[in-house]
Amino acid sequence: GQSLEQPSEVTAVEGAIVQINCTYQTSGFYGLSWYQQHDGGAPTFLSYNALDGLEETGRFSSFLSRSDSYGYLLLQELQMKDSASYFCAVRSFQTGANNLFFGTGTRLTVIP
């Protein structure tokens, strides 16, 4: 089977940096995606890592270590609007290359 683990809740201060970790277990791993979802909204794509290393997109960065089955999402210069749920999701042979197996999500609360 497949499994993903990420913290259920994280609280951080506006302007700070927060890291959301994700460990996974799967076979036929293709890559790790990150999505943001505000309450009542649709998941929005943030980043995708297929290879080891860091990917940077503005204030958001994502890291992958395939050998450790581990990744993280780094959010810098936190803003109140970043309060949302963040999901890591694997692409693997088990669900087909194009589809996503999601973690349970991390609820990020940004406080003033």
Q: Applying CB under 8 A, which residues contact another protein?
A: 30-31, 33, 35, 41-45, 48, 50, 87, 89, 91, 95-105
Alpha-carbon distance of 71 to 77, in angstroms, equals: 20
CB of 98 to another protein, least distance (A): 5
Instruction: Indicate the residue among 98 and 112 with the shorter CB distance to another protein.
Output: 98
Instruction: Indicate the residue among 105 and 110 with the shorter CB distance to another protein.
Output: 105
Residue 76 carries which side chain, given as an amino acid letter?
A: Q
Residues contacting residue 42 through CB under 8 Å, at least 6 positions apart: none
Q: Diameter of the chain by CA atoms?
A: 42
Instruction: Indicate the residue among 54 and 111 with the shorter CB distance to another protein.
Output: 54
